[in-house]
Structure 1
Amino acid sequence: MTALRATVRLQLRREFDFAAATAQVPYFAALGLSHIYMSPIATARPGSTHGYDVIDPLTVNPELGGETGLAALVDALHAHAMGAILDIVPNHMAADLGNVWWADVLANGESSAYATYFDIEWDAPDTGGKLWLPWLEQPLQQALDHRRLTLERRVDGNAAGVALDGNVLPLSAGSLEWLCQRGGIALPPPDAGHTRFERIRHALQNAAAQHAFDRALREVDHDPALMHQLLEQQHYRLAWWRSGDQLLNYRRFFDIDGLAALRMERDEVFEAVHALPLRLIENGSIDGLRIDHIDGLSQPGHYLRRLRERMDQAAQHGPQRHVSLYVEKILAADESLPLDWPVDGSTGYDFMRQVESLQLDPGSYAVLCRAWARSTGRPADFAAEENAARRQLLRTSLVSELARCTRAFCRYFADTAAHGDITAQALHYALTDVLAGMPVYRSYLGDGHFTGIDRRVLQHAFAQAELDGEPHYAPIRALLQQPLLDADEHSLPPAQAEHLHLARQRFEQLSTVLAAKAVEDTAFYRYGPLLSRNEVGGAPGHKQPEPMSWHAAMRQRAIRWPRSLLATATHDHKRGEDVRARLQALGEKPREFADRVHAWSNELGERSRLPYGVLWMLLQTVLAAWPLELAEDDLPAMRQFADRITEWLRKAQREAKLHTRWTCPDTSYEAACAELVEDLLLSAPYVSLRRKLRHAAHELDAPGAMNGLVATALRLTVPGVPDLYQGTEYWDQSLVDPDNRHTPDYAARAASLEQAAEPVELLCDYRSGAVKQQLIYRLLQLRKAWPELFSHGAYLPVAVTGAQRKHVVAFVRQHGERRLLVVAPRLCARHMDGSGLPLPNVSFWKNTRARTVDDDAACTFIDLFTYKKHGLEPMGWNIAELLADWPLAVLIPASQADDCPTFPRRTPTQDQ
Structure 2
Amino acid sequence: MTSERTVERTLARPDAAVPTATYRLQLQPGFPFGAAAAAVPYVASLGVSHLHLSPVLEAVPGSLHGYDVVDHARVREELGGEEGLRALARIAREHGLGLIVDIVPNHMAMSPRHNRALWEVLREGPDSPYARWFDIDWEAQDGRVLLPVLGGPLGAELGRIKADGDVLRYYDHEFPLREGTAGLEPPELLDAQWYRLGWWRLARTELNYRRFFSISELIGVRVEDPEVFDATHATILRLLREGVIDGLRVDHPDGLADPDGYLRRLHEATGGRWTVVEKILSDGEPLPASWPVAGTTGYDALRHVDGLFLDPAGFGELLGQYRRFAAPQTDRGGDWDATVRRAAYKVLTHELATEVDRLTRVASRLCATSPEPALRDRAPWALRTALLELLVRLEVYRPYASVDAAGVVTEEAAAEARLAFAVPEEAGAVDAVRDLVLGRYGDGPQHVEFRTRFAQTASALRAKSVEDTAFYRYVPLLSATEVGGNPGAPALPAEAFHAYCARVQRDWPTTGTVVSTHDTKRSADVRAALHVLTECPQRWADVLTEVTRGGEGVPDAQLAWAAWQTVFGLGPAEEERVQGALLKHVREAGLYTSWTEQEPPYEEQVARFVAAGPCGRPGERVAAFRASLEPHIRANVLGTALVHLTMPGVPDVYQGTEREYRALVDPDNRRAVDYGDGERDGDGGGVLGGDGGDSGGLSGEKRAVTRAALRLRARRPEVFGDTASYEPQPAEGPAAAHCVAFVRSGRVLTAVTRLSLRLAEAGGWRDTRLALPPGRWADVLDPGREFTGHARVADLFAPLPVALLERTGD
Q: Is TM-score (shorter-chain normalized) higher than 0.5?
A: yes
2:171 matches 1:161: no
Q: Kindly provide the amino acid, as one letter, of the partner of residue 620 in structure 1.
A: Q
- Aligned residue number for residue 536 of structure 1: 483
Q: What is the CA–CA distance in structure 1 between the aligned matches of 2:246 and 2:289, rounded to whole Å?
A: 23
Moved more, 577-586 or 691-700: 691-700
- Aligned residue number for residue 110 of structure 1: 126
- CA, structure 1 residues 802+467, in 2 after alignment: closer, same or farther (shift >3 Å)? farther
Contact 2:480 2:490 in 1 (8 A): no
Report the structure, 1 or 2, having the larger helix content: 1
Map 1:117-156 → 2, pairs under 5 A: 117-124=133-140, 127-144=141-158, 147-153=159-165
- Aligned residue number for residue 553 of structure 1: 500
Alignment counterpart, residue 714 of structure 2, candidates 781, 784, 794 = 784
- Aligned residue number for residue 566 of structure 1: 513
Map 1:813-824 → 2, pairs under 5 A: 813-814=744-745, 819-824=747-752
Alignment counterpart, residue 521 of structure 1, candidates 468, 492, 495 = 468
Q: What is the CA–CA distance in structure 2 between the aligned matches of 1:863 and 1:482, rounded to whole Å?
A: 59
Map 1:347-746 → 2, pairs under 5 A: 347-376=297-326, 377-378=329-330, 379-417=333-371, 418=373, 419-444=375-400, 447=401, 449=402, 451-452=403-404, 454-459=405-410, 462-463=413-414, 465-466=416-417, 469-470=420-421, 472=423, 474-485=427-438, 487=440, 489=442, 497-543=444-490, 545-603=492-550, 605-608=551-554, 610-627=555-572, 641-680=574-613, 687=617, 689-746=618-675
- CA, structure 1 residues 38+471, in 2 after alignment: closer, same or farther (shift >3 Å)? farther
Q: Kindly provide the amino acid, as one letter, of the partner of residue 378 in structure 2.
A: I
3-state SS of paired residue (2:683): helix
Give CA-to-partner distance per residue, 1:143-167, whole Å, 9 cap, x none: 12xx1211223xxxxxx22210122
3-state SS of paired residue (1:809): strand
How far the C-alpha of 1:748 sits from its partner, in A, is 6.8
Contact 1:394 1:402 in 2 (8 A): yes
3-state SS of paired residue (1:353): helix
2:786 matches 1:865: no
- Aligned residue number for residue 850 of structure 1: 770
Q: What is the CA–CA distance in structure 2 between the aligned matches of 1:277 and 1:486, rounded to whole Å?
A: 35
How far the C-alpha of 1:806 sits from its partner, in A, is 2.0
Aligned residues: 778
- Aligned residue number for residue 72 of structure 2: 57
How far the C-alpha of 1:389 sits from its partner, in A, is 0.3
- Aligned residue number for residue 630 of structure 1: none
3-state SS of paired residue (2:105): coil
Q: What is the CA–CA distance in structure 2 between the aligned matches of 1:892 and 1:360, rounded to whole Å?
A: 28
Moved more, 1-10 or 228-237: 1-10
How far the C-alpha of 1:47 sits from its partner, in A, is 0.3
How far the C-alpha of 1:871 sits from its partner, in A, is 4.1
Q: Kindly provide the amino acid, as one letter, of the partner of residue 117 in structure 1.
A: W
- CA, structure 1 residues 722+471, in 2 after alignment: closer, same or farther (shift >3 Å)? farther
Q: What is the CA–CA distance in structure 2 between the aligned matches of 1:464 and 1:331, rounded to whole Å?
A: 25
Using the size of structure 2 for normalisation, the TM-score is 0.93
3-state SS of paired residue (1:889): strand
Q: What is the CA–CA distance in structure 2 between the aligned matches of 1:402 and 1:530, rounded to whole Å?
A: 33
Contact 1:433 1:468 in 2 (8 A): no
3-state SS of paired residue (2:409): helix
Contact 2:770 2:793 in 1 (8 A): yes
3-state SS of paired residue (1:128): helix
Q: Kindly provide the amino acid, as one letter, of the partner of residue 101 in structure 2.
A: L
2:258 matches 1:299: yes
2:804 matches 1:884: no
Give CA-to-partner distance per residue, 1:408-445, whole Å, 9 cap, x none: 2122212324233111111111100000000000111x
Q: Kindly provide the amino acid, as one letter, of the partner of residue 716 in structure 2.
A: W
- Aligned residue number for residue 733 of structure 2: 802
Give CA-to-partner distance per residue, 1:827-861, whole Å, 9 cap, x none: 1124459xxxxxxx9x5112323345xxx24x222
Q: What is the CA–CA distance in structure 2 between the aligned matches of 1:600 and 1:733, rounded to whole Å?
A: 23
Q: What is the CA–CA distance in structure 1 between the aligned matches of 2:283 and 2:320, rounded to whole Å?
A: 23
Runs of at least 4 residues of structure 1 off by over 6 A? none
Q: Kindly provide the amino acid, as one letter, of the partner of residue 412 in structure 1.
A: L
- CA, structure 1 residues 657+372, in 2 after alignment: closer, same or farther (shift >3 Å)? same
- Aligned residue number for residue 11 of structure 2: none
How far the C-alpha of 1:468 sits from its partner, in A, is 7.1
- CA, structure 1 residues 863+353, in 2 after alignment: closer, same or farther (shift >3 Å)? same
Moved more, 84-93 or 588-597: 588-597
- CA, structure 1 residues 174+464, in 2 after alignment: closer, same or farther (shift >3 Å)? farther
Q: Kindly provide the amino acid, as one letter, of the partner of residue 652 in structure 2.
A: D
3-state SS of paired residue (2:410): helix
Contact 2:735 2:759 in 1 (8 A): no
Give CA-to-partner distance per residue, 1:230-262, whole Å, 9 cap, x none: 111111111111111111000000111110001
Q: What is the CA–CA distance in structure 2 between the aligned matches of 1:19 and 1:868, rounded to whole Å?
A: 40
How far the C-alpha of 1:668 sits from its partner, in A, is 1.3
- CA, structure 1 residues 25+138, in 2 after alignment: closer, same or farther (shift >3 Å)? same
Q: Kindly provide the amino acid, as one letter, of the partner of residue 465 in structure 1.
A: E
- CA, structure 1 residues 255+371, in 2 after alignment: closer, same or farther (shift >3 Å)? same
- Aligned residue number for residue 230 of structure 1: 189
Map 1:10-49 → 2, pairs under 5 A: 10-49=25-64
Contact 1:586 1:700 in 2 (8 A): no
- CA, structure 1 residues 53+137, in 2 after alignment: closer, same or farther (shift >3 Å)? same
Q: What is the CA–CA distance in structure 2 between the aligned matches of 1:765 and 1:777, rounded to whole Å?
A: 13
3-state SS of paired residue (1:563): coil
How far the C-alpha of 1:350 sits from its partner, in A, is 0.7
Contact 1:703 1:832 in 2 (8 A): no
Contact 1:579 1:733 in 2 (8 A): yes
Q: What is the CA–CA distance in structure 1 between the aligned matches of 2:44 and 2:130, rounded to whole Å?
A: 43
Runs of 5+ consecutive residues of structure 1 not aligned to the other structure:
154-159, 180-219, 221-225, 313-321, 491-496, 628-637, 757-761, 834-840, 897-912
Question: How many percent of aligned residue pairs carry the same amino acid?
Answer: 38
Using the size of structure 1 for normalisation, the TM-score is 0.83
